[in-house]
A and B are shown apart, each in its own frame.
Chain A
Amino acid sequence: MNQRAPIEEQIDLPFLESLRISFQSLKIRFGRSIITTAGITLGIAFLVSVWTNNEIEFALQESGRSSEIANIDEAAEQGISTKDIWLIIMSLIVCVVGIANSMLMAVTERFREIGTMKCLGALDGFVVRLFLLESGFQGFAGALIGALIGLLGAVILGLKNYGLDLFFYFPLLPASPENGPFQLGVLLLILFGCVLGMVLAVIGSSFPAWRAAKLPPAEAMRTEV
């Protein structure tokens, strides 16, 4: 108990240990995480449904069946339409804003926890890493669910417009490049949505997490949310 040796330097935690702590936290905070994740899910669902819808129209157009189909988008003849580009940009903005907001709230309501961890010896960098890991998982999971919901929405719409023909010409894989730069195919699109959700979640949480981690513990623990 007689510690009068000079004060040592705090060690860094192994990455695996951070990973475990963030998983435990996500598991217990599951209900809460879902609310945070919902923002990501919504944004990505919107994005993926708009995009998939566009690809479906494009694929049916390419298949030559468009002439038989009455209500096809005329502009689809030139690949992706201006209207769709706008929709996609809009849905991207919804994603960015929604996710940034979810992450800001998620970090703010955990100030006290951050202060407490620093009392127990957590380095600022550890706190930031913990939040980035957690939000990365949340972003990926939320985006995956969102992508599937968006896909489902687009399929239902496609069935309504084209009937079962939809499944014969379903744009699962990318179209050849000369047919249009944005035709990723649904598989790649889902992957893109997941990565986008994850990246946005990590970026969105990095700034509030970094700011919270820098606070002296006394201040962080004072905040009542």
Chain B
Amino acid sequence: MPDIVVKTEDVVKEYRMGSNVLRALDGINIEIQRGEYISLMGPSGSGKSTLFNMIGALDRPTEGEVYIDGQNMSNLSQRQIAAFRCHRVGYIFQSYNLLNVRTAHGNVTLPMIFAGIPEKQRNEKAEKLLDKVGLGDRMYHLPDELSGGQRQRVAIARALANDPSIVLADEPTANLDTITGREIIDLIKQLNTEQGVTVISATHDLKMLDVSDRIVDIRDGLVERIRNRDEIEIEVGEVGGHE
């Protein structure tokens, strides 16, 4: 039996602006298995970030249900939602969203502080994680003193701090140049294969195609189609041919 980590049931999200209602998600049904690397693909404004927010409990759907590890998210208390964000999910954003007032190390320890992990233990873990993402020599720098690629590495280390079962990445390479973007993708893929973390990444970066197990194409708030790895490989070949 497949082990489903994320399941959405007719998820609708509407944004109200005055008298206008914008239907950003129009009934999304997807199932994601543990350990998968999923890419949410679609043009800008198609609803990728909105879906990302629903799966990561960063916002509530207008209609429909999101199940994570079999738990209906709309049944959780505030405290449970905070614990869920703290322990179960690691978030990676396009604009890094590091806390500028904390060093790289301080950013990585923060989710562990929230999790109540003792100081010595969390310091060691932060060092280990920063080493792993290749920032062993930049640990005590502030985000302002780091390049975009380095900041995204800090964000990845921070996302892993509490050993999440899901890593959500919203266009993690959009602000990076091609080579740095490739490195970040490889790093995320490495976590996926080595640690079995489920990765859900919104993107319109074609470099993401060949690391994905499945690609969910989103258009106008709907799932247009879902492609498997074998279907993707053919297309990557085509894409490569165009370059």
Contacts and interface: CB of A to CB of B under 8 A. Distances in A.
Given A6-B71, A10-B82, A13-B113, A113 B197 contact: no
A75 interface: no
A9 B101 contact: no
Interface stretch (A119-127, A140-148, A203-211): A119-127
Interface stretch (A23-31, A83-91, A167-175, A187-195): A23-31
A121 B85 contact: yes
Interface string A110-121: 001101111111
Nearest to A29: B101
Given A118-B85, A121-B114, A10 B79 contact: yes
Contacts of A28: 100-102, 142
B80 interface: yes
Interface residues of B, number: 45
B110 A24 contact: no
Contact of B110 (A1, A11, A117): A117
Interface in B57-84: 58-60, 69-71, 76-84
B58 A122 contact: no
Given A1-B163, A218-B53, A221-B97, A8 B80 contact: yes
A113 B196 contact: no
A13 B59 contact: no
Contacts of B86: 10, 120-121
A52 B53 CA distance: 56
Contacts, number: 107
A24 to B, nearest CB: 7
Nearest to A221: B97
A218 B61 CA distance: 12
Contacts of A216: 53, 58-60
Contact of A7 (B83, B99, B111): B83
16 contacts: A1-B195, A10-B86, A11-B83, A13-B113, A24-B101, A24-B106, A28-B100, A116-B99, A118-B82, A120-B158, A121-B83, A121-B86, A121-B111, A122-B114, A217-B58, A218-B59
